[in-house]
Amino acid sequence: MLTCMSAKASVYDGSRLWLPQPVENNAAVIKAPKSSSATINVATAELRSSWTGAPVEMKLIKDKSLGRDGFIITPGKDKVTLTANSAPGLLYGAYRLLAMQTAGKSLPNEIREVPSYDLRILNHWDNLDRTIERGYSGSSIWVWDELPATISPRYKEYARANAAVGINGVVLNNVNASSSILSAGYLHKVKAIADIFRPYGIKVYLSANFAAPMQLDSLPTADPLDRQVIKWWKDKASEIYRLIPDFGGFLVKANSEGQPGPCDFDRSHAQGANMMARALKPHGGIVMWRAFVYSPADADRAKQAYIEFQPLDGQFDDNVIVQIKNGPVDFQPREPYSPLFGAMPSTDCMVEFQITQEYLGHSNHLAYLAPMWKEFFSYVNPKSIKAVAGVANVGDDTNWTGHPFAQANWYAFGRLAWNPALTGEDIADEWLSQTIFNGCNVPAEITAEVIDIMMRSREAVVDYMMPMGLHHLFAFGHHYGPEPWCAIEGGRPDWMPSYYHRADSAGIGFDRSSKGSNAIGQYPDNLAKRLDNPALCPEEFLLWFHHLPWEYQLPSGDTLWDSLCRHYERGVVETRDFQRRWEHVQPYVDPALFDDIQRRLKTQVRDAIWWKDGCLLYFQELSRLPFPDDITPPV
Ligand code: GCW
């Protein structure tokens, strides 16, 4: 049997991501439309370099149903026709052809794809000094000091990788934004990046600091109703668009975690967002205004975004999109969906997912996130939102993302932003065939085994970190290990795990029911009713919404305490199982890659035990109950 290691393509090069491999002396016949463009040239070049099938003819057509970026692929007798309304549509079609070729899939009679969202955006939390907030894969890929004179070859590779999965927008800098990014010097650097991205159909956006007029030009105020402030943003927008005619717009974190915002001047989020949106409007730009707000004074942090934003429904201009994290607290391994979705029918809303694993074991743990994002879409109708954003996990590590499997999350984000109906399994399969199994003759059962590991991985993390609706048991600051006992005197209560787990001798969980904080009341009635009743509330959200006695009887017959212990145990067992099953893959992958993943899985097992032992020993001090016999007692 031809195994990976005997195939030429088998040497794993993590820097290549899922990009098509060039074929030496390739003889592909590719016909491009007459009205050529830089984007069509890219599509042609990609196919010429890697396509080994029948001649491809690309055509620009006018078909409203394809939207801006859709395409049709029709294999004929002696050629494949690729049609689209736009050059980016052709580029996406070209990448789809190449992905199918790599996966060894034959073309069906017709492939017709129209992305579900026009805006599919990565958010970089990259600082101008090249550190990355919550980044675990090296330094920022943007080398600001060298720009615009020196252009790292990685900018283009990054743009290709994004275009290949349909991502068409990039916010370059951290939402905790330095105003300097809007200074003339930096804007020239941004322009250089935008010029590289343009042929790949990718627009550049910037995170803007609301106080930039004060910080950059010493204006006395940043009040959004002040005439000077309004003029400042208008002038800034014109300056940007002179350099970058297709600039996408601003992402704004305002009045959140110490960032300035309109509320500092007794103005609303809508007034702040609209002022900036009006500056961008004549140029076609948008504002993505984040709804991630909370304060130490809140009785229940999970309620805050809804309380502040829901009453503003209908007040935002049409080029503002309110960007809402998938859950109401903060990218926890599991959260119910944020009740703001569906609660602002007259406002464009978009979801913000986190691709970087701030709360999922950083770049040490294998946690495939497609199932988490699919879970969100099982509650929130994909059609009810306008766009999708993901906080990037990209850095300057050789393989871009640290953990080789973390690449799959970047890939899956792009694919789900294109089509949220794709399954996690199919996306994993696609990714594997183009990356770690590329060029290898891997038996179907091995591929199935790895897909299975990926599909179970996020649930395993939930189990060993914080099952049954527990959340934010993380160590202070770095958010890596467990610290449910953490209590810093004088510290913000909403930054302490005890705020979230509320464990005491009587029981555990945050009472958000109608008798408690009534966060449940922010959800639609039929769902709220179900969540409000602990017997009907899905077990995975039980302690998110209820404070229950340790010996509470679950519908399964188990007590809450026993079940909690078994979840932690299951997380450890699953993780050990991943490590054991990964051994089966050894003959089919590059030895260096095998070792790298094996090493990380060992770390993950160690951490899973640490989480289980730490949390259970701590909770046992409060529950005073014995561990069930069928778990390995924590030490
Ligand atoms: O999850 C928290 C992170 C912060 C982050 C913030 C946000 C960019 O711990 O690092 O800041 O969310 O989303 O604004």
Both 158 and 248 in a single domain? yes
Residue 629 resides in a domain: no
Find where tokens 């993302």 sit.
Answer: 401
pLDDT tens track for 500-529 = 999 999 999 999 999 999 999 999 999 999
Both 391 and 475 in a single domain? no
325 alpha carbon to ligand 1 midpoint, in Å? 10
201, pLDDT greater than 60: yes
Q: Which protein residue has the closest C-alpha to ligand 1 atom 1?
A: 330
Burial class (CB in 10 A: 0-12, 13-18, 19+), 322: buried
Cis preceding-peptide flag for 148 (omega within 30 of 0):
yes
- Asked whether the whole model's pTM tops 0.95, one would answer yes
Both 191 and 77 in a single domain? no
**515 residue type, one letter:** K
Residue 436 resides in a domain: no
What's residue 494's pLDDT? Answer: 83
Both 362 and 491 in a single domain? no
Asked if 177 and 222 count as a contact pair (C-beta separation under 8 A), the reply is: no
Both 367 and 499 in a single domain? no
What's residue 6's pLDDT? Answer: 45
Could you give the CA distance from residue 393 to residue 141 in angstroms, rounded to a whole number? 11
What's residue 614's pLDDT? Answer: 98
369, pLDDT greater than 70: yes
Pocket test for ligand 1, best of 124, 125, 126 (most atoms within 8 A of CB): 125
**Percent of the chain scored above 90 by pLDDT?**
93
487 alpha carbon to ligand 1 midpoint, in Å? 20
Confidence bin at 569 (pLDDT 50/70/90): very high
**319 residue type, one letter:** N
pLDDT tens track for 539-554 = 999 999 999 999 999 9
* Residue numbers of the domain that contains 565: 465-510+547-623
Decide whether any atom of ligand 1 lies within 6 Å of the 330 Cβ: yes
Q: Give the active site residue among 257, 504, 583, 595.
A: 257
Both 206 and 91 in a single domain? no
Evaluated on CA atoms 584, 589, 591, 596, the torsion sign reads negative
CATH of the domain at 101: 3.30.379.10
257 alpha carbon to ligand 1 midpoint, in Å? 8
| Strands 71-75 vs 80-84: parallel, antiparallel or unpaired | antiparallel
What's residue 10's pLDDT? Answer: 63
What's residue 1's pLDDT? Answer: 35
Both 304 and 414 in a single domain? yes
3-state SS class at 231: helix
Residue 358 catalytic? yes
For the residues 469-493, what does the mean pLDDT come to? 90
Both 394 and 284 in a single domain? yes
Could you give the CA distance from residue 252 to residue 273 in angstroms, rounded to a whole number? 8
What's residue 526's pLDDT? Answer: 97
Both 109 and 133 in a single domain? no
8, pLDDT greater than 70: no
Confidence bin at 488 (pLDDT 50/70/90): confident
What's residue 194's pLDDT? Answer: 98
Residue 181 resides in a domain: yes
Residue 330 catalytic? yes
Residue 257 catalytic? yes
Decide whether any atom of ligand 1 lies within 6 Å of the 175 Cβ: yes
Both 358 and 476 in a single domain? no
CATH of the domain at 606: 3.90.1330.10
What's residue 138's pLDDT? Answer: 98
Both 413 and 334 in a single domain? yes
Both 20 and 134 in a single domain? no
Residue 3 resides in a domain: no
489, pLDDT greater than 80: no
Helix 269-280 vs helix 227-243: crossing angle, to nearest 10: 40
CATH of the domain at 204: 3.20.20.80
141 alpha carbon to ligand 1 midpoint, in Å? 20
Q: Give the active site residue among 330, 375, 430, 569.
A: 330
**Which tokens sit at 307?**
């309380």
Pocket test for ligand 1, best of 136, 257, 338, 479 (most atoms within 8 A of CB): 257
Q: Give the active site residue among 126, 358, 511, 532.
A: 358
Confidence bin at 493 (pLDDT 50/70/90): confident
310 alpha carbon to ligand 1 midpoint, in Å? 21
Residue 91 resides in a domain: yes
Average pLDDT of the chain, as a whole number: 96
Residue 362 resides in a domain: yes
479 alpha carbon to ligand 1 midpoint, in Å? 11
Q: Where are the alpha helices (DSSP H) in 334-423?
A: 370-379, 406-418
Residue 634 resides in a domain: no
Q: Which protein residue has the closest C-alpha to ligand 1 atom 12?
A: 330
Residue 521 resides in a domain: no
Asked if 88 and 201 count as a contact pair (C-beta separation under 8 A), the reply is: yes
Confidence bin at 171 (pLDDT 50/70/90): very high
3-state SS class at 160: helix
Q: Give the chain's domain count.
A: 3
Decide whether any atom of ligand 1 lies within 6 Å of the 125 Cβ: yes
Domain boundary among 367, 399, 423: 423
Find where tokens 């958000």 sit.
Answer: 512
Domain boundary among 423, 457, 488: 423
Ligand 1 atom closest to 133 (CA): 10
What's residue 148's pLDDT? Answer: 98
Domain boundary among 51, 85, 113: 113
Return the CA Rg of the chain.
25
Ligand 1 atom closest to 359 (CA): 1
113 alpha carbon to ligand 1 midpoint, in Å? 34
Q: Which protein residue has the closest C-alpha to ligand 1 atom 2?
A: 330
Q: E-assigned strands of 259-417?
A: 286-290, 320-325, 349-354, 387-391
pLDDT tens track for 56-111 = 999 999 999 999 999 999 999 999 999 999 999 999 999 999 999 999 889 999 99
